[in-house]
């Protein structure tokens, strides 16, 4: 049974995909120079998300987790890394601690 739902909108219209508690749902969107992956999954009866900045279609370099935690309706923002490396700065121009 579906527990997660993801949608995408592009030039060919909208599409959706479903994921169960067992399978989770992973969504990836890329530009040429960078991208983002969102993984929804169930852990100990709660919904969690992992958000990762990635290399884009033309770059297969470093991945950088920016969030991994529960998504239970409470406002939370946890930056997992606060010191950019050269690779992170290339993936996310303008990234700086505390920004």
Q: What is the pLDDT of residues 37-51, one digit of tens each?
A: 999 999 999 999 999
DSSP secondary-structure letter at 84? -
Residue 13 pLDDT: 96
Checking if the pLDDT of 80 tops 70, the result is no
3-state DSSP assignment of residue 64: strand
**pTM value > 0.75:** no
Range list of H helices, 1-99:
86-91
How many residues belong to the chain? 99
- Asked whether 65 and 50 are in contact (CB, 8 A), the reply is yes
Query: ∠ CA(3), CA(67), CA(98), 5° rounding?
Result: 150
- Domain residue ranges of the chain, discontinuous segments joined by +: 24-91
């Amino acid at each position: 049974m579906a527990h997660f739902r993801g949608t995408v909108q592009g030039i060919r219209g909208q599409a959706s995909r479903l994921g169960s508690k067992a399978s989770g749902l992973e969504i990836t969107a890329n530009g040429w120079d960078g991208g983002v992956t969102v993984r929804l999954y169930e852990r100990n009866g709660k919904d969690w998300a992992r958000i990762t900045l990635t290399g884009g279609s033309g770059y297969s370099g470093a991945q950088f987790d920016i969030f991994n935690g529960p998504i239970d309706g409470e406002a939370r923002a946890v930056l997992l890394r606060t010191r950019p490396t050269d690779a992170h700065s290339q993936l996310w121009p303008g990234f700086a601690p505390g920004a």
